[in-house]
């Protein structure tokens, strides 16, 4: 959580520092909000601050936090949050439509606690554990194309789609692991749709992202 606290302090400093830019600073900052989707739960809200560095470049920082943790039938405890940074570039030819190209990097913290007996895939086979703490942080990067559509003087909508790759750093901690089947490892590059945290090793997977943000210029 230390990284999250640092980011929150950074965002607060940006907001407080807005006044030092003078009269022109009002159009440089925007606040954006959007829903955030998580697995195996999907109840969260995402907010961020966007700073227009120049007519061509903008910098967006976001944090997604759960509104609440719904009751799970598979896990006794679920914890997660996400933070990210995005660099947007607007080409002169895209200016009339407010289009942009961007590079986004996100870090998702994810922790699950399962006190029951279940199965996990490891590099040297399939194992049964009796209670486990599952740490499964995800680092993702995506190239995106998007459009900021203004609505009035201060409001806008930001629609985007993109693709890239994500790495899932899984680590299972349990006192008991029992081998049930010997299966060869599928390797670190895996495009199959199984739940990523069901593997006790690092996975690299295709990443597809799309969404809609609502923003207000400060």
Q: Could you give the count of Cα atoms lying within 13 Å of 192 in the half-sphere of its Cβ?
A: 11
CB atoms within 10 A of CB 160: 21
Can you give the C-alpha Rg of the chain in angstroms? 20
CB atoms within 10 A of CB 14: 14
Q: How far apart are CA 184 and CA 52, in angstroms?
A: 50
The predicted structure's pLDDT at residue 193: 52
Structure tokens at 199: 């593997």
In 95-137, the DSSP E strands lie at 99-122, 125-135
Query: What would the pLDDT profile of 118-149 be if each residue is shown by its tens digit?
Result: 999 998 899 999 999 999 999 999 999 999 99
Query: What would the pLDDT profile of 26-43 be if each residue is shown by its tens digit?
Result: 578 999 999 887 766 667
The predicted structure's pLDDT at residue 134: 95
Let me know: does 141 contact 103? Beta carbons within 8 Å: yes
Within the chain, which residues score under 50 in pLDDT? 2-25
The predicted structure's pLDDT at residue 9: 42
This prediction has a pTM of 0.80
Q: How far apart are CA 134 and CA 199, in angstroms?
A: 10
The predicted structure's pLDDT at residue 210: 92
Structural domains of the chain, with CATH: 2-11+25-217 (2.40.160)
């Amino acid at each position: 959580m230390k990284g999250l606290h640092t980011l929150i302090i950074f965002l607060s400093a940006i907001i407080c520092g807005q006044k030092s830019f003078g009269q022109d600073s009002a159009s440089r900052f925007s606040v954006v909000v959007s829903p955030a989707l998580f697995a195996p739960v999907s109840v969260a809200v995402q907010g961020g601050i966007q700073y227009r560095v120049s007519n061509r470049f903008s910098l967006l920082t976001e944090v997604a936090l759960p509104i609440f943790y719904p009751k799970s039938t598979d896990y006794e405890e679920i914890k997660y949050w996400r933070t990210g940074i995005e660099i947007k570039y607007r080409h002169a030819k895209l200016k009339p439509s407010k289009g942009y190209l961007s590079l986004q990097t996100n870090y998702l913290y994810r922790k699950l606690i399962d006190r029951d007996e279940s199965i996990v895939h490891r590099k040297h086979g399939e194992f049964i554990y009796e209670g486990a703490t599952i740490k499964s942080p995800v680092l993702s990067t995506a190239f995106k194309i998007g459009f900021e559509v203004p609505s009035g003087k201060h409001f806008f909508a930001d629609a985007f789609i993109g693709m890239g790759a994500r790495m899932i750093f899984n680590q299972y901690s349990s006192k008991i692991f029992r081998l049930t089947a010997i299966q060869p490892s599928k390797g670190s590059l895996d495009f199959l749709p199984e739940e990523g945290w069901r593997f006790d090793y690092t996975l690299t997977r295709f990443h597809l992202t799309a969404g809609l943000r609502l923003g207000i210029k400060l």
